[in-house]
């Protein structure tokens, strides 16, 4: 069986390493922006239940966070109490969303499966983790255990799919795939979060790199011969980086890329919709709060 397996790996279509690197980098960055949008919705729900009901603030940059904006209005204590009370519901909703994506039946397309698992990982680390960080210790520990489990399982699924088309039985090969698939996105997200003093963000990026490295060295994917489509990742490698640049460019343009102590922008939907600066938010928050 191994003879036929070796023959198959040598002559069957497979993606080039640079295509895996480009596709993974684009997918992880897109997934991080989407996860930040989900986190922004969760933060806004907290603010809305705390009394900010005359405007809806939208935020979706993985290197910043909407939480904390209430400190500009004098309603910080009310929002903190509401955030603690709503944490189980918000974290549970994010977990449910990630699990639905994880278990959703997908077509046998290598690129689609990789993106779905990448989105699960980013939701767990860039949405769930920031929500539970300030919660009750026991509740946070339970939620984080579930999140870590799904990050590891999602990485295992990606390895299983890649093992259909490239040889991943040797640890050195798995570490190489980890280096080109995970490290660039983790470094970019971690550096942006660190520059903006967003602690939860750079911790999430570091945790992502550490957990996926553990999977790479500790787990050997089984030899599989499932037929997948688009295994060379030609279209994915061409389109995904462009889409990722558009997502990141839009996030920089709309929300700003400077450290939070300088300024950041928000999208406001309400009586006076538009993109407003942090200073404008400071002046208008009392009007929005009921």
Task: List the pLDDT tens digit at each of the 290 positions of the chain.
Answer: 444 444 455 656 788 899 999 999 999 999 999 999 988 888 888 777 777 777 777 888 888 887 666 565 566 666 667 777 777 778 888 888 888 898 887 788 889 999 999 999 999 998 888 888 766 677 778 888 888 999 999 999 999 999 888 888 889 999 999 999 999 999 999 999 998 888 889 999 999 999 999 999 988 887 666 777 888 888 889 999 999 999 998 888 887 766 544 456 667 776 566 777 666 766 677 677 66
Owner of token pair 């945790």: 207
Q: 24: which 2 tokens?
A: 């993974």
Helix, strand counts (H, E) of the chain: 11, 3
At 263 the pLDDT is 52
Q: What is the DSSP letter of 33?
A: H
| Whole-number pLDDT of residue 251 | 86
Give the pLDDT confidence score for residue 262 in this predicted structure. 43
Which H or E run contains 137?
helix 137-162
pLDDT score, position 119: 94
Domain-wise residue ranges, the chain? 2-288
Radius of gyration of the chain (CA): 21
Q: pTM for this one? A: 0.86
């Amino acid at each position: 069986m191994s003879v036929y397996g070796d023959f198959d790996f040598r002559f069957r279509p497979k993606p080039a390493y640079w295509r895996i690197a480009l596709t993974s980098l684009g997918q992880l960055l897109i997934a991080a922006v989407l996860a930040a949008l989900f986190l922004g919705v969760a933060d806004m729900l907290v603010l809305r239940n705390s009394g900010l009901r005359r405007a809806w603030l939208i935020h979706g940059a993985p290197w910043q966070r909407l939480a904390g904006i209430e400190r500009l209005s004098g309603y910080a204590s009310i929002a903190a109490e509401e955030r603690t009370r709503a944490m189980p519901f918000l974290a549970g909703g994010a977990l449910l969303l990630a699990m639905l994506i994880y278990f959703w039946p997908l077509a046998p397309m290598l690129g689609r499966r990789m993106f779905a698992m990448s989105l699960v990982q980013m939701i767990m680390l860039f949405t769930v983790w920031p929500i539970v960080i300030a919660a009750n210790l026991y509740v946070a520990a339970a939620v984080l255990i579930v999140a870590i489990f799904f990050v590891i399982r999602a990485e295992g699924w990606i390895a299983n799919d890649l093992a259909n088309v490239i040889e991943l039985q040797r640890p050195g090969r798995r570490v190489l795939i980890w280096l080109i698939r995970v490290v660039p996105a983790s470094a970019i997200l971690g550096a942006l979060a660190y520059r903006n003093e967003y602690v939860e963000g750079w911790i999430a990026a570091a945790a992502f790199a550490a957990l996926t490295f553990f999977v790479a060295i500790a787990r050997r994917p089984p030899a599989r011969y499932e037929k997948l489509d688009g295994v060379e990742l030609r279209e994915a490698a061409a389109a995904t980086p462009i889409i990722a640049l558009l997502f990141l460019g839009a996030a920089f343009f709309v929300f700003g890329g400077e450290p939070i102590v300088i300024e950041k922008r928000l999208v406001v939907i309400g009586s006076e919709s538009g993109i407003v600066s942090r200073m404008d938010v400071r002046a208008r928050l009392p009007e929005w709060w009921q």
